Amino acid sequence: MTPEADSLRGATCPTGVPELVDGRVRLRAHRPEDAARIVEQSRDPLSAEWTTVPVPYGDKDARDFLGLIRDAWEHADGHRYWAIEWDDPDDGPRFAGTIDLRPKGRTHTAEVGFGLHPDARGQGVMASALRLVCRWWFAHGGERVYWYANAGNMASWRVASVCGFRWHTGLPDFLDHRGVAVGAWIASVGPDDDLGRPAAPWLDPPTLERDGVRLRAWAESDIDDTAADPDLPGHFIPPGAMPSPETFPGWLDQRRMAMARGLALHWCIADAATDRALGGAVVILAEQAEGSGELGYQLFRSARGRGAATVAARLASGHALRPEAEGGMGLRRLVALTVGDNLPSARVLERAGFTLWGREPGFCLRADGSADDALHWVLASAAD
């Protein structure tokens, strides 16, 4: 132990910290002996990526942090910090991280912040801690708890999501992260919300495969295949629907968040033999009638002409209409839209079993300024 860490032995714990317990997680006052684990947590790459802990993080930083916590509890309206103690199956009770509430003046609202030691992740520890803190706040007259995170922090959103936090918005360049303005995600929960269940389902794409085509989750490495520009007229594919190498990171974040909010289920269409990305398929639930979804699909230029879109449409629509008890989405109908002169896309839908039910005149403009119609398609489940 270094001299700085050794000096922590004489530090005092904050007083007046209410102990909160749910049977598997205990929230308690921080102790001097937590310092070593605080240093380990703060040196973890994910902690450095998503939080503003000092880099590099040392014993003095842990000592300063414990002093900050002690001082905060001494102020009536200060931040409220708890050490998270987890009953590790291998090592017994041990420090697992920190969670804090930051009251916002006299508004009866607070912002929550949390961080977990790497060896406690993936066990539901933070979700238990977050529920305990929210219930404590509401029991003491609190009216709302807000969650903020850097845009792209899916792990933090998963914790907030399973605790009933409702998504509000994303704000560009809202947070200062080590001197750089970054986007923020914002959600909140109130005393009447159910802390025990998500406000919306988190949709995870299953891997589906047939006839040499695989539907799977998009991965960061797929950026290498996005240089194959769709090269289709603008009224065929909405702007931003297909990524370029420059737009891919933000494009991927948007799709992952749409799934995390229960708005859509996105797949990468891949070659089953090489796993190379060929395009994308989606079942959109947002703004659809209950039990309905909208099918969409796009291919990179180099992937066209081999039937991949048809196979992908069949796989995606089959999963969407399959009953939930059989692992599907349990939808009763799917709709789709093509523009009037996009004959290849119309043939894909026909081969996938869709029926043309209507034409909408003058739906969009072509590059030459002339108007094109929209064709509306539907595919119902066998039960209908």
| Interval 99-111: pLDDT, tens | 999 998 777 999 9
What's the pLDDT score for residue 7? Answer: 43
Which architecture, in CATH terms, is 208-380?
3-Layer(aba) Sandwich (3.40)
Q: What whole-number distance in Å separates Cα of residue 180 and Cα of residue 108? A: 30
In the chain, CATH 3.40.630.30 covers: 3-189, 208-380
In 3-state terms the chain splits into helix, strand, coil percentages (rounded to 5) of 30, 30, 40
| Interval 349-377: pLDDT, tens | 999 999 999 999 998 888 788 898 999 99
Stretches where the chain sits below pLDDT 70 are 1-12, 228-236, 239, 382-384
What's the pLDDT score for residue 1? Answer: 41
What's the pLDDT score for residue 367? Answer: 79
What's the pLDDT score for residue 382? Answer: 65
What's the pLDDT score for residue 101? Answer: 96
What's the pLDDT score for residue 84? Answer: 97
| Topology, domain 3-189 | Aminopeptidase (3.40.630)
The beta-carbon contacts of 59-64 under 8 Å, at least 24 apart in sequence, are: 59/2, 59/4, 59/5, 59/8, 59/35, 60/4, 62/5, 62/8, 62/35, 62/36, 62/38, 63/4, 63/5, 63/7, 63/8, 63/11, 63/35
What's the pLDDT score for residue 259? Answer: 96
Q: What whole-number distance in Å separates Cα of residue 287 and Cα of residue 294? A: 10
